[in-house]
Amino acid sequence: MTLSLSKPAKKQIKIGNIELKGNVYIPPMAGFTDLPYRILCREFDEDVLMSTEMLSSKAMIYSDQYKNIHEPNKMDIPEGESLTGIQLFGHEPEIMSEAARIATDAGARFIDINMGCPVAKIVNGMDGAALMKYPELALNIVKAVKSATNLPVTVKTRLGWDYDNLNARDLALMFQDLGISALTLHGRTRSQKYEGNAKWELIAEAIAGLEIPVFANGDVKTIEDVKNILEITGADGVAIARGTMGKPWFSKQVNHYIATGEMLPEPDAHAKLELSLKHCKLMIEYRGIEAGTREIRKHIVKYVHGLPGSSKVRGKLSQLNSYEEAEEMIFELMDNLKYDDRN
């Protein structure tokens, strides 16, 4: 299908030695971008850049969770995977550099530093977006991580701590001088958290003239949003987080649109429901029955959103304890679709 929208100019993105064919990044989402999520997104789109959830640099060094290779490990990256990075958070340069070494050995293709997480327990520990308030420390962290790895080092941040302190541009220029390979910029401040709208015009101001590739981020849900964010910001690529929840095919549609101006069809309702079961199976295989059935609930809500009968599923989801129960629930929704087709 051809869109009536014109297409933004496609820019070639190179992150250190990684030459991307696409322009889309699925950035870290704690509690979402685990291995099953990334496997499904990769099945649709061989060109999308992805990252693990944010990982605590301290935990990587001190917690058994990262030492026991038999447990699901947040650093899990499939063998042969060449476009997935590991995101680290922390504020101690030495610990961040040690964590970068561990992430490098674990198979990351790039190391991303989290300077954007707004959550109180993270910023109160001086991590995430709190680093925007301490530019010197932020620079020391970038230096420390860079000196610990040969991989490209990237930073993900926000416009500033609040509207009185919009320092993303100053930081980006300094990080660029230190040799980071790409920047992801979310068009909100820390104070906004996830409220209000992402300000794409302010992303444009912050990144004008930068030489490193930039992924503009915030509130991209549709192809129209993709066109607008790229045209308004002048960014090289787009980072889409929530817009890929329950939509592992979305990045492929976006990459295809940026390359050709055409819109690929999205899976039909039946295929979406099948995908939810596939995700469920992967999740249980990966995490075991108890954690797997608990963790899949928030994903299934996204897959079934807007489908006939989906509101009834919400209540049942909280009771979900097995793959068979998920199947029963999803088959019921598939039956609703047949009924819908007949009418």
Q: Closest distance between ligand FMN and the C-beta of residue 316, in Å?
A: 23
Smallest gap from Cβ 270 to ligand FMN, in A, equals 27
Query: Rounded to whole angstroms, how far apart are CA atoms 323 and 283?
Result: 10
SS3 288: coil
- Smaller CB separation from ligand FMN, 115 or 329: 115
41 catalytic per annotation: no
Strand partners, 289: none
Would you say the C-alpha torsion 216, 220, 222, 225 has a positive or negative sign? negative
Least gap, CB of 31 to ligand FMN (angstroms): 6
Q: Kindly state the smallest distance separating residue 221's Cβ from ligand FMN, in Å.
A: 8
Q: How far apart are CA 50 and CA 109, in angstroms?
A: 10
Looking at beta carbons only, is 144 or 229 nearer to ligand FMN? 229
CA distance 210 to 11: 14
Taking the complex as a whole, how short is the minimal distance between the CB of residue 52 and ligand FMN, in angstroms?
8
Nearest C-alpha neighbor of 335 from the set 267, 246, 270, 266 = 270
Q: Indicate the DSSP class of residue 33.
A: S
- Smallest distance, ligand FMN to C-beta of residue 132, A: 13
Q: Please report how close the Cβ of residue 158 comes to ligand FMN at its closest, in angstroms.
A: 8
* Nearest to ligand FMN of 197, 322 (CB atom): 197
Cβ nearer to ligand FMN, comparing 131 with 307: 131
Amino acid identity of residue 184, one-letter, is T
DSSP H helices in the chain: 35-44, 57-62, 93-105, 120-123, 135-148, 168-178, 200-207, 223-233, 250-260, 269-287, 289-304, 310-317, 323-342
Residue type, 230: L
**Which residue is catalytic, options 41, 111, 117, 320?**
117
* E strand or H helix at 267: none
Q: For residues 139 and 122, give the distance between their C-alpha atoms in angstroms, rounded to a whole number.
A: 19
The rounded distance, in Å, linking the Cα atoms of 154 and 147 is 13
- Which CB, 229 or 273, lies closer to ligand FMN? 229
- State residue 268 phi and psi, 5-degree precision: -75, 175
- Closer residue to ligand FMN, CB minimum distance, 32 or 161: 32
* Nearest to ligand FMN of 200, 323 (CB atom): 200
> d(Cα 41, Cα 343) in Å, to the nearest integer?
34
> Which residues are near ligand FMN by CB under 6 A?
27-32, 53-54, 87, 114, 116-117, 156, 186, 217-220, 240-243
Cβ atoms 54, 88 nearer than 8 A: yes
**What's the CA gap between 300 and 246, in Å, rounded?**
7
Task: Write out the catalytic residue numbers.
Answer: 117
